[in-house]
């Protein structure tokens, strides 16, 4: 298996906490899934990340262009126009929830749903994001087999803001990188100018010596 590098992002974890996670993006629909990276643990764990994504039904390709979510895991499922909207999976067009989907969501809810409410900080959106399934499905399974969301609109807002901030930071980092590159180019140009000046001065000295002027 070739070593894959997944972008690392910060995702909400616990109350007002965040954890690093490797992110995979479906090349067909832009759907996302995350592999949380525990702090203090070797963060170069692409094999484990690959396994984690594969366990969730993802096809992990040799590069990001060939990563596909469970919904688009086979070429047949990828027929039709790309719906690359770069939105979270919950914004995907709903398709029929299969038995396997239901089981996976059920398992996850078993883990993160407490007494008549989600355990903090879990929400429908967080589960949908974690599993890479539409939020609708999570709502359906949760309503049917568990109970009310008992989630906190404030926390949902927080998740939205976190995503927004992540995007802003990425844009900022890109701007910084561009500025840094410009500085390097400027320094190189200056060095080149200095070299030309030195050569010119040497020539001037030679003229002085040989032509005596």
Residues that bind Zn ion (CB under 5 A): 26, 28-29, 31, 69, 71-72
Taking the least distance from each CB to Zn ion, the nearer of 22 and 112 is 22
CA distance 166 to 169: 5
CB of 120 to Zn ion, least distance (A): 30
A 10 A CB-CB count for 188 gives 10
Taking the least distance from each CB to Zn ion, the nearer of 95 and 187 is 95
For every residue of 139-185, DSSP letters joined together read HHHHHHHT------HHHHHHHHHHHHHHHHHHHHHHHHHHHHHHHHH
CB of 42 to Zn ion, least distance (A): 29
Taking the least distance from each CB to Zn ion, the nearer of 104 and 149 is 104
CB of 25 to Zn ion, least distance (A): 9
Taking the least distance from each CB to Zn ion, the nearer of 72 and 142 is 72
Closest C-alpha to 74, from 55, 96, 59: 59
CB of 70 to Zn ion, least distance (A): 8
DSSP 39: T
A 10 A CB-CB count for 176 gives 10
CA distance 139 to 14: 21
Taking the least distance from each CB to Zn ion, the nearer of 28 and 108 is 28
The sign of the torsion formed by the CA atoms of 123, 126, 130, 135 equals: positive
CB of 77 to Zn ion, least distance (A): 8
Taking the least distance from each CB to Zn ion, the nearer of 69 and 128 is 69
CB of 28 to Zn ion, least distance (A): 4
CA distance 36 to 49: 9
**Paired tokens of 76:** 């047949």
* Radius of gyration, alpha carbons of the chain: 26
């Amino acid at each position: 298996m070739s070593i894959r590098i997944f972008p690392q992002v910060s995702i909400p974890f616990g109350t007002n906490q965040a954890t690093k996670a490797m992110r995979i993006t479906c090349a067909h629909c832009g759907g996302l899934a995350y592999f949380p990276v525990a702090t203090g643990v070797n963060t170069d764990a692409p094999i484990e990340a690959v396994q984690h994504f594969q366990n969730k039904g993802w096809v992990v390709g040799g590069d990001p262009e060939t990563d596909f979510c469970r919904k688009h895991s086979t070429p047949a499922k990828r027929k039709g126009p790309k719906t690359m909207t770069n939105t979270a999976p919950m914004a995907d067009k709903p398709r029929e929830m299969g038995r396997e989907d239901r089981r996976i969501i059920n398992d996850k809810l078993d883990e993160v749903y407490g007494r008549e409410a989600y355990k903090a900080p879990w929400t429908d959106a967080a589960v949908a994001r974690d599993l890479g399934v539409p939020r609708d499905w999570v709502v359906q399974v949760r309503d049917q087999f568990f109970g009310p969301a008992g989630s906190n609109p404030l926390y949902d807002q927080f998740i939205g803001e976190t995503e927004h901030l992540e995007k802003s930071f990425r844009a900022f980092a890109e701007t910084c990188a561009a500025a840094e590159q410009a500085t390097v180019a400027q320094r190189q140009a200056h060095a080149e100018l200095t070299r030309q000046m030195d050569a010119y001065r040497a020539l001037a000295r030679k003229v002085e010596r040989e032509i005596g002027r």
